[in-house]
Chain A
């Protein structure tokens, strides 16, 4: 069973790094982050990565759907979904392996941003390393949540652009929820706040790892992965 994951995962990672899309999005992601990091870093004289932790989730909103859009949509479009689903792989194995492969690319992008982390360690003082590590964990978890949403977006259509837009919209709505609290009636605001991704992320990136936040992000990942598997399975009964 686990072997199947490995086989699909390897192929997916290979095909990510065989295509220019991965490199282009990676470079763009890193440039944007580097720009925001360096433009304020020496001005404010702060020894943290707050800028990275604020900007990266926003860049993720575009970056991750761009990575995931082809994952299943492309296979549907070219017909290879029929090929891979008639191999002795279960639909869940295929979807989860693809998710993990995309997450690897996200993690790679994050790995490159540790350049800023290292810079900070060298030139800064009074650094709260724990908070920084927690911040990275937060980014990785949010990245995983977005990737799960992106997987879902890619599973519902055979058009990559449509997949991008669907994933982008879902992520964007989840991201914006706690920023529109002033426009909603009071009794809804705490619910909306709890549903907002950014609310949970901001806790983690401050260095507070609360089980509520982990449960929330875990549920998002699980929910969208299960939905993606369902959607892929649904082809059998359409």
Chain B
């Protein structure tokens, strides 16, 4: 289990991560989502021991990332952002180096190498120089080095960035496959990526966690609302509010009036549907409905809402 407790990381005056806490259970695939510069990479770098926390701590299986860094590193397979590789090395030599570093003994190396080649689709490129490889293959080599020692924990920082759509699908499949038996933290600024691979997601913005839950939970929490846009002629706001009072959950979020035409946006939980009431009310008061359109919030909107300037205030 990975536990992040009150983690703070500053770069000089810049607060990269500001007091975040969360846990990752064994066997869970956690999506770590946020716009660029939100603090995802910094958090991952602290977990892997590349950076030390300014304050707070990270525990992996009750071991402390500052004192037991070496033990923790042995349990982790890490694919850093931008996938840095030694481009002057052959794929084989590179993987052999990592295998040595990971204390895989000679007798096991052969069989493990074959497994990894099979798993990551490296057949035919093992004896090529890394600088001759396409970006997709480089990414596979990066994944291969991260899993060669069959780690309990896999940390992947933007594993599909810079790949073409086909490669992205492949790599996602690979991650999903690997994640069956491991604890995985995968970071991304792309929502769909997390949606298809992760069990649970944490959305982080400006160094703070703005949402944490399974995808369904987040949809209930944030998407749970429908927006209804209305354009009415001859109507007045006071009277419209009487419609609302039929149901408690309705909110008049925007309102304007121009040339006798009233524009209003209502927000209400998905469970409600006041359209019929509004229509009846309009008929009763001889209003003309020029427009009535419904817009369901998607996870995309949730993400945008949470991570756009000032959006944090909308979150819980």
Contact = CB atoms under 8 A, between A and B. Distances in A.
Interface in A41-96: 78-83, 85-90
Contact of A78 (B76, B84, B93, B100): B84
A82 B80 contact: yes
Contacts of A86: 48-50, 73, 76, 78, 80
Contacts of A82: 45, 50, 80, 84
B52 interface: yes
A160 to B, nearest CB: 14
A59 B252 CA distance: 81
**Most chain B C-beta atoms within 10 Å of own C-beta, residue among A80, A83, A238:** A83
Nearest to A233: B52
Nearest to B103: A88
A235 B84 contact: no
A18 interface: yes
Contacts of A235: 50-51
B70 A19 contact: no
A39 interface: no
B112 interface: no
A51 B50 CA distance: 48
A96 to B, nearest CB: 16
Contacts of A7: 97, 100-101
A14 interface: yes
Given A236-B51, A238-B11, A83 B101 contact: no
Nearest to A8: B101
A87 B103 CA distance: 11
A88 B88 contact: no
A69 to B, nearest CB: 15
A156 to B, nearest CB: 18
A11 interface: yes
A236 B98 CA distance: 22
A19 B76 CA distance: 31
Given A79-B82, A86-B50, A238 B97 contact: no
A interface, how many residues as a size bin?
Answer: 20 to 34
Contacts of A15: 86, 88-89
A183 interface: no
A80 B94 CA distance: 12
Interface in A2-23: 4, 7, 11, 14-15, 18-19
A18 B88 contact: yes
Contact of A87 (B84, B89, B102): B102
Given A82-B80, A236-B52, A237-B52, A88 B85 contact: no
Contacts of B84: 78-83
B182 interface: no
A14 B78 CA distance: 24
B101 A238 contact: no
Contacts of B165: none
Nearest to A7: B100
**Most chain A C-beta atoms within 10 Å of own C-beta, residue among B11, B52, B97:** B97
B260 interface: no
A238 B12 contact: yes
A15 B100 CA distance: 16
B80 A83 contact: yes
A8 to B, nearest CB: 8
Nearest to B72: A88
B87 interface: yes
Nearest to B99: A7
B74 interface: yes
Interface string A123-154: 00000000000000000000000000000000
A162 to B, nearest CB: 20
Interface of B: 11-12, 45, 48-52, 70, 73-74, 76, 78, 80-82, 84-89, 93, 97-98, 100-103, 145
Interface of A: 4, 7, 11, 14-15, 18-19, 78-83, 85-90, 235-238
CB-CB nearest 6 A-B residue pairs: A79-B84, A236-B52, A80-B84, A7-B100, A86-B48, A87-B101
